């Protein structure tokens, strides 16, 4: 590895980190506007706009993230007197660094570079070359993703402890318990994909989804992954960690100014990163029908570099489109579903998702051995997955047995008869 390669790598790291933080800023705007529209409101539309002729305003509010950042920078920076000072100061970094480094192994797009220049069908890196738009490709990329996403909870737990505040402490403890509970289901649902692709490498998994996204053969895994990843990033409806009604603000109660902003940032970057992982594992990554044909046409007419560039940009667009769609679903769910109770959370994690994930692994293993044709096994797995999800939903609604339910009118009339 030459000096130039190191420089290029560093620049890529910097650009990726800046891109994720910018994306965080605009995700907050995306979420605020969408939530507002879901609730029949307008949302932020004041800070910054593009004036159009006729007095109309375009993109009202697109500078809102900048305004928020400036506000947070100028807030007073407080350290509670009884806090464990160094731990208190270091925990925002503990939270935000894992959120940023998750992105390293996710193949954001396909920009083949180096090597012999021949792009393998479905894959991206030419023989001897690499994918320019994936920061790090190594053969256990999935393990790295799982490890880093779960390290993120240390920041929250430490923050809750160091604040020396009982609400923060409870928030941190809840975060730890929740993340540990859902880690299992998350890891097992990912394992199904790994078995399907016979590889731990993210690039190989994307390549294996050529023409056949894993949402079909791994439908059960996809459902489990969506639920478990929502809980893993403590997002609504599983946001008990910062349940305002019970815990004030949870682990970030005692944090203000940029320290709070860092927690906020880690939460949102993790959310989008989880969506990006879901896209990589289940929705075909950067694949989109017609991309290779387009790139081949450009290569034939304008040369190899132009072809690679077109493939890189269009596949990046496809990837971002899929991530945006999943993010929209996250916001939609947040706007719709109320927060679950703690016992419901634990019930879902341990008694529903974990057995389902184990069943999914068994199913994948059996089907892949029984049928050599991946389309047949995939179709069967899809049908069985759908049936399992429906059956589980039907029987596992966390409801009381009918004998324990007391109707209000009935109870009142009984009380009246006694009195």
Candidate segments 97-105, 123-131, 308-316, 333-341, binder of other proteins by CB under 8 A: 333-341
Nearer to other proteins, 337 or 383 (CB): 337
Tell me which DSSP letter residue 135 carries: S
Lay out the site mask for other proteins across 381-410 (x = CB under 8 A, - = otherwise). ---------x--xx-xx-x-----------
CA–CA distance, 162 with 125 (Å, rounded to integer): 46
Question: Hunting for tokens 């579903």 — which residue is that?
Answer: 337
Nearer to other proteins, 34 or 220 (CB): 34
Return the percent helix, strand and coil in the chain, to nearest 5: 70, 0, 30
Angle at 284 between CA 280 and CA 288, to 5 degrees: 130
Torsion of CA 356, 359, 361, 363, to 10 degrees: -130
41 binds other proteins (CB under 8 A): yes
**Cis ω for the linkage preceding 253 (within 30 of 0):** no
Nearer to other proteins, 142 or 231 (CB): 231
Among 12, 13, 25, 38, binds other proteins (CB under 8 A): 38
42 binds other proteins (CB under 8 A): yes
335 binds other proteins (CB under 8 A): yes
Nearer to other proteins, 26 or 332 (CB): 332
Least distance between other proteins and beta carbon 41 (Å): 5
Tell me which DSSP letter residue 323 carries: H
40 binds other proteins (CB under 8 A): yes
Among 39, 293, 372, 418, binds other proteins (CB under 8 A): 39
Structure tokens at 196: 């399907």
Among 25, 87, 258, 333, binds other proteins (CB under 8 A): 333
DSSP string, 166-200: HHHHHHHHHHHHHHHHHHHHHHHHHHHHHHHHT-S
- Contact residues: other proteins, CB under 8 A: 34, 36-42, 332-333, 335-337, 390, 393-394, 396-397, 399
């Amino acid at each position: 590895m030459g000096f130039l390669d190191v420089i290029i790598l560093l620049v890529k790291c910097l650009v990726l980190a800046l891109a994720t933080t910018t994306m965080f800023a605009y995700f907050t705007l995306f979420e605020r506007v969408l939530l507002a529209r879901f609730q029949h409101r307008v949302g932020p539309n004041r800070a910054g706009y593009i004036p159009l002729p006729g007095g109309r305003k375009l993109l009202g509010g697109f500078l809102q993230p900048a305004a928020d950042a400036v506000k947070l920078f100028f807030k007073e920076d407080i350290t509670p007197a009884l806090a464990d000072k160094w731990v208190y100061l270091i925990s925002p970094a503990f939270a935000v660094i894992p959120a940023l480094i998750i992105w390293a192994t996710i193949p954001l797009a396909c920009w083949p570079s180096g090597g012999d220049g021949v792009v393998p069908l479905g894959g991206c890196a030419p023989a001897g070359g690499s994918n320019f738009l994936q920061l790090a490709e190594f053969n256990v990329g999935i393990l790295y993703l799982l490890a880093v996403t779960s390290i993120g909870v240390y920041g929250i737990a430490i923050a809750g402890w160091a604040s020396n505040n009982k609400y923060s402490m409870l928030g941190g403890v809840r975060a730890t318990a929740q993340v540990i509970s859902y880690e299992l289901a998350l890891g097992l649902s990912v394992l199904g994909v790994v078995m399907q692709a016979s590889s731990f490498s993210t690039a190989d998994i994307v390549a294996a989804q050529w023409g056949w996204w894993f949402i079909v053969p791994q439908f059960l895994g996809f459902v489990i992954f969506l639920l478990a990843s929502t809980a893993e990033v403590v997002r609504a409806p599983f946001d008990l960690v910062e349940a305002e009604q019970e815990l004030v603000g949870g682990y970030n109660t005692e944090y203000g100014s940029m320290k709070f902003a860092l927690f906020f940032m880690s939460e949102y970057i993790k959310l989008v990163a989880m969506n990006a992982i879901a896209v990589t594992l289940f929705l075909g990554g950067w694949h989109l029908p017609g991309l290779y044909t387009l790139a081949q046409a450009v290569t034939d007419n304008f040369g190899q570099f132009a072809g690679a560039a077109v493939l890189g940009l269009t596949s990046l667009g496809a990837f971002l489109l899929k991530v945006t769609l999943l993010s929209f679903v996250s916001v939609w769910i947040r706007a719709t579903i109320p927060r679950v109770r703690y016992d419901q959370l634990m019930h879902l994690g341990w008694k529903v998702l974990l057995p389902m994930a184990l069943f999914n692994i068994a199913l994948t293993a059996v089907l892949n051995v029984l049928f050599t044709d991946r389309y047949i096994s995939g179709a069967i797995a899809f049908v069985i997955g759908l049936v399992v999800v429906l059956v589980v939903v039907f029987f596992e609604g966390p409801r009381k047995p009918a004998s324990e339910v007391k109707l209000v009118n009935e109870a009142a009339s009984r009380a009246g008869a006694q009195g």
